[in-house]
């Protein structure tokens, strides 16, 4: 009986560990009865679901991502004298602590560090703004050394609230490629590629460097997700053919849609995007200017919620947008072209070839259409 009881305890213990494979012993006297947030840093739209982890919630810890329908993990922590945070994480992920401050005050956050399996003790001082945490875990030790070696490619900002300026992306990516050859299982290096893409747009070297990771590393969910998204953008860059898009059972966008027109302009937008709504009248002007010159206009609206769909229809109606609009209910457009920001504009020729892929620049769209028609 005692042996059976012991075996059950071992099984229960293993189950608890499987469900909760990281633990943070957090202390911060300066923030007792105040709140902090812990979550993934900003990434490109469509990358958030790759940066998720689970924390055990209670009266002092709540899941902000779930409450606000955010795709990446974000948790609210009401700080006590002693704070034990436990949870599950599939692979090392970049996170930061954030303090919003009182009304009218600026928010502050630590520098990015990696949350990973194991036990971590963190003591936060009163001023966490741009604070580099000294966490003795494998990925954090590596990330600290990697960031130090990458300093040569940046001009250091004089203000802690501004990012350092990248001098040369080509040289940085070449260095990163050499680093990955020596460290083919590096989550820190993979994050550096994702972060560069978030801040600086697509670069051909990203996929070249991704290919340098080990065969084993390429099997993990994070790597596969990043590779899929970057390949989608590569395959829908200028000169490539736009893939067939299936919005729902009734609506699709295929090569047949482009054959009837000399050019097709596609605007990808959302009702939550202020620049999208602001630029709508300019798109209407463009439409009126070129609708009789064999140029087709299409909007693809990134909305799935019925209320948001109704809002989108009202915005289109208010702006007298009489062209064809599709709702990306299956997220097929977003995934296949790796649409990571709004507004995103495509110009497609009659063969379905992408003439231009432009972020938020209607003037550039107008110039390209004018030059192409001439």
Q: Which helix (H) or strand (E) holds 170?
A: helix 169-182
283 contacts 297 by C-beta, under 8 angstroms: yes
Give residue-wise pLDDT tens across range 146-200: 999 999 999 998 887 788 899 999 999 999 999 999 999 999 999 999 999 988 8
Confidence of residue 20 (pLDDT cuts 50, 70, 90): low
Percentage of the chain exceeding pLDDT 90: 76
Give residue-wise pLDDT tens across range 287-303: 999 999 999 999 999 99
Confidence of residue 7 (pLDDT cuts 50, 70, 90): low
Q: How far apart are CA 62 and CA 55, in angstroms?
A: 9
Average pLDDT value for the chain = 90
**pLDDT of amino acid 16:** 47
Q: Which residues neighbour 290 within 8 Å (Cβ) at sequence distance 6 or greater?
A: 263, 369, 373
Q: In a 10 Å sphere around its CB, with 0-12 CB exposed, 13-18 middle and 19+ buried, how is residue 36 labelled?
A: buried
Question: Residue 115, Cβ neighbours under 10 Å: how many?
Answer: 27
**pLDDT of amino acid 368:** 95
What would the mean pLDDT of 213-239 be, rounded to a whole number?
A: 93
334 pLDDT higher than 80:
yes
11 pLDDT higher than 70:
no
**pLDDT of amino acid 374:** 84
Confidence of residue 17 (pLDDT cuts 50, 70, 90): very low
Which segment of 16-30, 270-284, 337-351 scores lowest on mean pLDDT? Answer: 16-30
* Tokens standing for residue 93: 């992920």
């Amino acid at each position: 009986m005692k042996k059976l009881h012991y075996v059950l305890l071992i099984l229960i213990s293993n189950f608890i560990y499987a469900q909760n494979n990281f633990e943070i012993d957090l202390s911060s006297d300066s923030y007792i009865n105040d709140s902090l947030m812990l979550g993934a840093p900003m990434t490109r739209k469509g990358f958030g679901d790759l940066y998720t982890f689970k924390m055990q919630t209670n009266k002092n810890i709540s899941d902000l991502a779930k409450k606000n329908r955010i795709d990446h993990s974000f948790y609210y922590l009401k700080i006590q004298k002693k704070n034990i945070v436990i949870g599950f994480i599939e692979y090392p992920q970049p996170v930061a602590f954030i303090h919003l401050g009182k009304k009218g005050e600026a928010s502050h956050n630590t520098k990015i560090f990696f949350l990973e399996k194991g036990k971590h003790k963190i003591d936060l001082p009163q001023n966490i703004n741009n604070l580099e945490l000294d966490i003795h875990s494998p990925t954090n030790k590596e990330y600290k050394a990697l960031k130090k070696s990458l300093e040569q490619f940046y001009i250091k900002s004089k203000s802690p609230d501004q990012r350092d300026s990248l001098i040369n992306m080509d040289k940085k990516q070449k260095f990163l490629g050499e680093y990955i050859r020596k460290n083919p299982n590096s989550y820190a290096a993979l994050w550096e590629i994702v972060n560069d893409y978030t801040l600086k747009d697509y670069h051909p070297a990203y996929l070249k460097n991704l290919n340098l990771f080990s065969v084993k590393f390429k099997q993990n969910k994070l790597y596969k997700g990043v590779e899929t998204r970057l390949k989608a953008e590569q395959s829908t860059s200028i000169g490539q053919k736009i893939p067939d898009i299936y919005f729902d059972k009734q609506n699709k966008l295929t090569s047949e849609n482009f054959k009837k027109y000399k050019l097709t302009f596609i605007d990808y937008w959302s009702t939550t995007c202020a620049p999208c709504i602001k630029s709508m009248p300019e798109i209407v002007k463009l439409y009126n200017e070129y609708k009789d010159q064999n140029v087709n206009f299409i909007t693809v609206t990134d909305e799935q919620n019925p209320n948001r769909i109704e809002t989108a229809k009202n915005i289109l109606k208010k702006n007298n947008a009489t062209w064809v609009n599709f709702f990306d209910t299956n997220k097929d457009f977003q995934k296949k072209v790796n649409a990571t920001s709004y507004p995103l504009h495509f110009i497609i020729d009659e063969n379905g070839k992408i003439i231009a892929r432009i972020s938020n620049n209607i003037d550039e769209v107008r110039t390209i259409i004018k030059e192409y028609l001439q």
